[in-house]
């Protein structure tokens, strides 16, 4: 018996070793192959400093490098890229980056600190429209100075906690000074000369973008892939058909798949891993505080109390979302108020009886015969379906809404000018994974996406203090206070949920780690294809 047990033990150990050996062989990166994926639209312009659509980022991500970037192995961390290392002055206002030596641009010209200065002087110029990197860095960076050909210094206006996180963004890429001088901007395909793992090979407008391996990439041994091919697939049915037919190996960005699409794909392909993930986007309902009826805080509060976030997530997002949260713990960790606390707050708590009664009382107080409003919505994604659900929920408390739909672009123009009463559904992506992003783009008085024009000095003060706070713990406390304050206030932008969706990766694709924003970690520098 003992002999039999010994044989079994040896056999099991051998099997484990063999399996481990096999896995190790499989996990050893392999060179070659082309990764196929898709862009949801045609970028048209390619200037990563000047544009904001995700497709521009996707089209150019692998071509450029940053001074620093989000670590491809662990996208929650910041890692050196063109900089080998950096130091921070004791007052936290000067960052000195020591750049790699021997780096060359794709056209063979040498890279130096002058390129970093030229890029950031461009991005930070007051008259240059830089909606992502510029918007994130302009408030905090005073100047960029060259110390020597391989050292560059960023001098800040104040000790800004999110500086490194913002600089690591994929929008803050370093372009060549000589390219900027030659082309004036980075829009043309010929101007796509970077130091990144891939060279820009071709752009067939409306159809295809292709990169090829940069054999002179400054990280030895990388990239593994021979190239990356991005098909421009505009329609949802086309994207799903391409996925089902095995023409694309990756679906990770925007728009995510719906549950039904993910199920359809799972039935069609067994060689893919399908997963649910956040897209770092908050689903908001806006009210215009500058005109009746929502200039009245009581009515804004009534709407917030009437909305059943859990029902909206269950029905409109097919259950893929984090309801009620102002910050998503999955994205910003403990900067987010604990969900257990959020779920007990008025507006979010279940059952909703008390909240609905209070909302009804508030509406009746100001409009005894009920309230009639026009509800705006852009006709994109399932926004109209979401709006119908919102209207149904508001009817329970005596608010009767009429839907007014806008074509996508026209909607933005109307919202930006404040020509609406309520926007039933509007998603807003975060530009960086730092919690600051939400407050600077939605909730501060001068925020670019503060469509409802809500102004609260306490919000501005807390957001500003958190921005300048260097102690992580104190910063966390400030953000908690800020979240509690907003969630208890008659805000113009009611947070419904953080949106999630379904994605897939072909099992052959290895080394790919989705980042915390849809914009980052799309360089594929460490991605390889298994046999």
Q: What is the residue whose two structure tokens read 């497709």?
A: 55
H helical segments located in 307-407: 309-316, 329-332, 339-342, 353-366, 383-395
C-alpha span between 225 and 214 (Å, rounded): 10
Interaction between residue 374 and another protein (CB under 8 A)? no
User: Which is it for strands 250-251 and 321-323: parallel, antiparallel or unpaired?
Assistant: unpaired
Interaction between residue 443 and another protein (CB under 8 A)? no
- State which of residues 112, 170, 192, 450 lies at the interface with another protein (CB under 8 A): 450
**Strand residues in 266-378 grouped as ranges (E):** 272-287, 321-323, 371-378
Terminal Cα distance for the chain, rounded: 42
Min dist CB 208 to another protein, Å, is: 5
Min dist CB 235 to another protein, Å, is: 5
Min dist CB 325 to another protein, Å, is: 20
- State which of residues 422, 447, 478, 487 lies at the interface with another protein (CB under 8 A): 447
Min dist CB 404 to another protein, Å, is: 11
C-alpha span between 404 and 376 (Å, rounded): 5
Quick one: residue 210, left, alpha or beta (phi over 0 = left, psi -120 to 50 = alpha)? beta
Interaction between residue 52 and another protein (CB under 8 A)? yes
By beta-carbon proximity to another protein, the closer residue of 80 and 134 is 134
Peptide bond into 452 cis (omega under 30): no
Q: How many residues form the binding site for another protein (CB under 8 A)?
A: 54
Min dist CB 55 to another protein, Å, is: 11
Stretch of residues binding another protein (CB under 8 A), selected from 26-34, 203-211, 368-376, 489-497:
203-211
Stretch of residues binding another protein (CB under 8 A), selected from 27-35, 41-49, 278-286, 504-512:
41-49
Closest CA relative to residue 336, chosen from 346, 327, 323? 327
Burial classification of residue 176, based on how many CB atoms lie within 10 Å of its CB (0-12 exposed, 13-18 middle, 19 or more buried)? buried
Interaction between residue 149 and another protein (CB under 8 A)? no
Interaction between residue 242 and another protein (CB under 8 A)? yes
- State which of residues 78, 268, 274, 403 lies at the interface with another protein (CB under 8 A): 268
- State which of residues 67, 160, 179, 233 lies at the interface with another protein (CB under 8 A): 233
By beta-carbon proximity to another protein, the closer residue of 88 and 268 is 268
Interaction between residue 185 and another protein (CB under 8 A)? yes
Q: CB atoms < 10 A from the CB of 21, how many?
A: 10
By beta-carbon proximity to another protein, the closer residue of 2 and 417 is 417
Interaction between residue 300 and another protein (CB under 8 A)? no
Interactions with another protein, residue window 376-435 (CB under 8 A): 406-410, 412-417, 428, 431
- List for the chain the helix, strand, coil content (%; round to 5): 35, 25, 40
What crossing angle do the helices spanning 353-366 and 297-306 adopt, rounded to 10°?
150
By beta-carbon proximity to another protein, the closer residue of 233 and 389 is 233
By beta-carbon proximity to another protein, the closer residue of 52 and 343 is 52
What crossing angle do the helices spanning 472-488 and 457-468 adopt, rounded to 10°?
160
By beta-carbon proximity to another protein, the closer residue of 46 and 424 is 46
Interaction between residue 245 and another protein (CB under 8 A)? yes
Quick one: DSSP state of residue 10? H
**Strand residues in 149-185 grouped as ranges (E):** 151-156, 173-174
Min dist CB 332 to another protein, Å, is: 18
Radius of gyration of the chain (CA): 25
- Measuring CA to CA, how many Å separate 10 from each of 15, 24, 168, 478? 8, 20, 50, 58
Min dist CB 268 to another protein, Å, is: 7
Min dist CB 417 to another protein, Å, is: 7
User: Which is it for strands 173-174 and 83-88: parallel, antiparallel or unpaired?
Assistant: unpaired
Interaction between residue 488 and another protein (CB under 8 A)? no
Quick one: DSSP state of residue 40? S
Interaction between residue 21 and another protein (CB under 8 A)? no
Interaction between residue 244 and another protein (CB under 8 A)? yes
Min dist CB 411 to another protein, Å, is: 8
By beta-carbon proximity to another protein, the closer residue of 348 and 447 is 447
C-alpha span between 213 and 62 (Å, rounded): 10
User: Of how many residues is the chain composed?
Assistant: 531
Residues that bind another protein (CB under 8 A): 41-42, 44-45, 52, 127, 129, 131-132, 134-136, 185, 187-188, 204-208, 231-235, 237-238, 241-242, 244-247, 268, 406-410, 412-417, 428, 431, 441, 446-451
């Amino acid at each position: 018996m003992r002999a039999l047990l010994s044989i079994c033990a040896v056999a099991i150990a051998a099997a484990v070793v063999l399996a481990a050996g096999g896995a190790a062989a499989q996990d050893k990166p392999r060179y070659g192959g082309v990764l196929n994926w898709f862009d949801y639209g045609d970028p048209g312009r390619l200037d990563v400093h000047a544009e904001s659509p995700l497709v521009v980022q996707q089209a150019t991500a692998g071509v450029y490098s940053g001074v620093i970037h989000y670590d491809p192995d662990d996208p929650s961390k910041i890692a050196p890229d063109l900089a080998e290392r950096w130091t921070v002055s004791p007052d936290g206002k000067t960052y000195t980056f020591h750049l790699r030596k021997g780096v060359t641009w794709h056209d063979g010209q040498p890279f130096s600190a002058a390129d970093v200065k030229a890029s950031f002087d461009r991005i930070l110029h007051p008259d240059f429209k830089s909606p992502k990197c510029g918007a994130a860095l302009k408030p905090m960076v005073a100047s960029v100075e060259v110390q020597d050909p391989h050292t560059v210094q960023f001098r800040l206006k104040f000790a800004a906690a999110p500086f490194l996180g913002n600089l690591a963004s994929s929008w803050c890429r370093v372009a060549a000074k000589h390219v900027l001088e030659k082309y004036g901007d980075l829009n043309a395909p010929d101007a796509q000369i970077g130091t990144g793992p891939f060279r820009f090979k071709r752009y067939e407008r409306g159809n295809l973008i292709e990169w090829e391996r940069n054999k002179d990439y400054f990280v030895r041994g990388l990239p593994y892939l021979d190239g990356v091919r991005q098909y421009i697939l505009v329609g949802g049915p086309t994207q799903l058909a391409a996925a089902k037919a095995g023409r694309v190996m990756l679906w990770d960005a925007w728009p995510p798949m719906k549950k039904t699409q993910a199920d359809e794909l799972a039935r069609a392909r067994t060689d893919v891993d399908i997963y649910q993930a956040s897209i770092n986007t908050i689903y908001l309902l806006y009210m215009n505080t500058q005109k009746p009826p929502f200039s009245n805080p009581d009515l804004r509060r009534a709407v917030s109390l009437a909305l059943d976030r859990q029902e909206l997530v269950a029905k409109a997002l097919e259950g893929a979302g984090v309801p009620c949260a102002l910050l998503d713990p999955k994205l910003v960790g403990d900067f987010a108020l604990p969900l257990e606390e959020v779920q007990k707050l008025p507006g979010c708590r279940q059952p909703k009886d008390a909240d609905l009664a209070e909302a009804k009382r508030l509406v009746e107080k100001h409009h005894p015969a009920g309230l009639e409003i026009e509800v705006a919505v852009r006709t994109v994604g399932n926004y109209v379906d979401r709006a119908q659900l919102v209207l149904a929920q508001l009817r329970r408390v005596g608010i009767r809404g009429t839907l007014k739909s806008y074509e996508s672009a026209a909607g933005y123009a109307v919202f930006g000018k404040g020509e609406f009463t309520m926007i039933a559904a509007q998603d807003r992506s975060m530009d960086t994974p730092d919690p600051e992003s939400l407050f600077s783009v939605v909730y501060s008085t001068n925020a670019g996406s503060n469509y409802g024009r809500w102004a609260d000095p306490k919000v501005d003060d807390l957001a500003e203090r958190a921005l300048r706070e260097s102690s992580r713990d104190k910063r966390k406390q400030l953000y908690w206070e800020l979240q509690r304050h907003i969630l208890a206030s008659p805000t113009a932008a009611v947070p419904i949920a953080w949106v999630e969706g379904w994605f897939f990766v072909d099992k052959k694709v290895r080394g790919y780690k989705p980042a915390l924003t849809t914009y980052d970690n799309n360089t594929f520098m460490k991605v390889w294809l298994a046999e």
